[in-house]
Amino acid sequence: MQQRLLLAAALFVSTTAAWAQVPVPAAKQTKATVLTGATLHVGNGQVVEGATVAFNEGKITYAGPSAGFNAGGTAYEAVNVSGKHIYPGMILPNSQLGLTEIESVRATLDQQEVGMFNPNVRAVVAYNTDSDITPTLRSNGVLMSQVTPMGGMISGTSSVVQLDAWNWEDALVKADGGVHLRWPAMVQQTTDNSPQVQQRRQARQTGLSELEALLAEAKVYKNQKNDRRNLKLSSLGGLFDGSKKLFIHANYGKEIVESIRFAQKAGVKEMVIVGGADALVVADFLKENNIPVVYSGVHALPARAEDDVYLPYKMPGLLQKAGILFCLDYDASLHGTRNLPFIAGTAVAFGLPKEQALSSVTLNAAKILGVDQQVGSVEVGKDASIVVSEGDILDMRTNKISHAFIQGRKLNLTDKQQYLYEKFNGKYNSANKAEVGK
């Protein structure tokens, strides 16, 4: 009996220690809050020195020079952030956050379904709000993510979530706003007519023919009254009235043009290119058709041997000069997505103006994901999803988040890495002190 009690006590202690690594979602804002004395980076290119930002019931009530702030009879709790910087919470597009945890453990992977055409798959219902990765993003100022499925030709639908919630329903910012199409790679025209090459060409053509038929059927289905709902067809209906966007994953210039023309012919209203390694090559076409880009390759190698070795670093600045609406994502390991602000920082070092780089991970991302009326910039009426950094948030040397709020709720910025650092830092410091005392 005593052994059982000891075992239960040990389990309780270990469980408590494990839970200490996972911050509990913050409680709803109950006190009006005002941040004073900081430099405000609005997210739309504007910078306000000596600014004040006030928010109440989860919404921003004032954002501007301190001299212009009037409490209007509301009792605000003042937080002095003098010398620091206020930013909108950053947004991570095209991510499997909450769908993938440990790549080598199959039970933690839920980012794709079998089959080629799964438009009815809703990635958000598999979103895990208890992921150990999520707090590491918040510690660097990333407060929202587009949960995106993978696999097949039509992977499913994505949703935008905020990163402080008990469950996926509470996390939702915008549900099922995008359908994701993985455009099949072209087969290069060569003298090689081997059976393998012919098979690849035939498979590609078959896939595109099936996709064309599916979109045509979905368009007809949308305009009919049906007693029994077809989930695959109904999930595509929003593409034809603009209520959903088609996110086309493509990199090669010819594939980008081909996929956009294909979608336009099918009647799709809103499109976004994801990846876009060759976006600059077809910049005029993208601008003419008003197609934004989620650019994925800032820290990638150039696509061609003859390209400038720094071209991926320069690409955001070049897209800005070309007049293309774009945002940045982190198309590498999921555990590295906390480095999203530093991707934008790299673009600054290679020609993109600093405030435009901030927009590329805040307001531009919000516009492309269709949530810019709610988040993406520090403006009156929007959600109080903001962060306070001791220095430049895009520089890994000065990105030190002191405060973060989602919809006015103050976040616990502890994460697993910080917990382990403090644990073992204390251990070895104690050991060193004991050694010195001998």
Q: Which domains does the chain have, with CATH numbers?
A: 2-87+414-436 (2.30.40), 90-374 (3.20.20.140)
Q: pLDDT tens digits for 356-409?
A: 999 999 999 999 999 999 999 999 999 999 999 999 999 999 999 999 999 999
Tokens encoding 194: 């081997």
What stretch of H or E contains 284? helix 283-288
Residue 33: is its pLDDT beyond 50?
yes
Predicted pLDDT of residue 424: 87
Residue 191: is its pLDDT beyond 90?
no
Residue 179: is its pLDDT beyond 60?
yes
Average pLDDT in the chain? 90
Q: How many CA atoms lie within 13 A of 27 on its CB side?
A: 2
What stretch of H or E contains 51? strand 47-56
What confidence tier does 421 reach under pLDDT thresholds 50, 70, 90?
A: confident
Q: Give me the mean pLDDT over the 412-421 stretch.
A: 84
Q: pLDDT tens digits for 122-175?
A: 999 999 999 999 999 999 999 999 999 999 999 999 999 999 999 999 999 999
For 179, other C-beta atoms within 10 Å of its C-beta total 24
Burial of 414 (0-12, 13-18, 19+ CB in 10 A): middle
Q: pLDDT tens digits for 213-234?
A: 999 999 999 888 776 788 999 9
Predicted pLDDT of residue 51: 96
Question: How many angstroms separate the CA atoms of 281 and 304, rounded?
Answer: 13
For 308, other C-beta atoms within 10 Å of its C-beta total 10
Residue 339: is its pLDDT beyond 50?
yes
Burial of 172 (0-12, 13-18, 19+ CB in 10 A): middle
pTM, entire model: 0.90
Type of residue numbered 160: V
Angle at 78 between CA 77 and CA 81, to 5 degrees: 145
The per-type count for the chain, helices as H runs and strands as E runs, is: 12, 16
Tokens encoding 53: 């930002």
Residue 18: is its pLDDT beyond 70?
no
Residue 12: is its pLDDT beyond 50?
no
Q: pLDDT tens digits for 231-277?
A: 999 999 999 999 999 999 999 999 999 999 999 999 999 999 999 99
Predicted pLDDT of residue 11: 43
* 360 three-class SS: coil
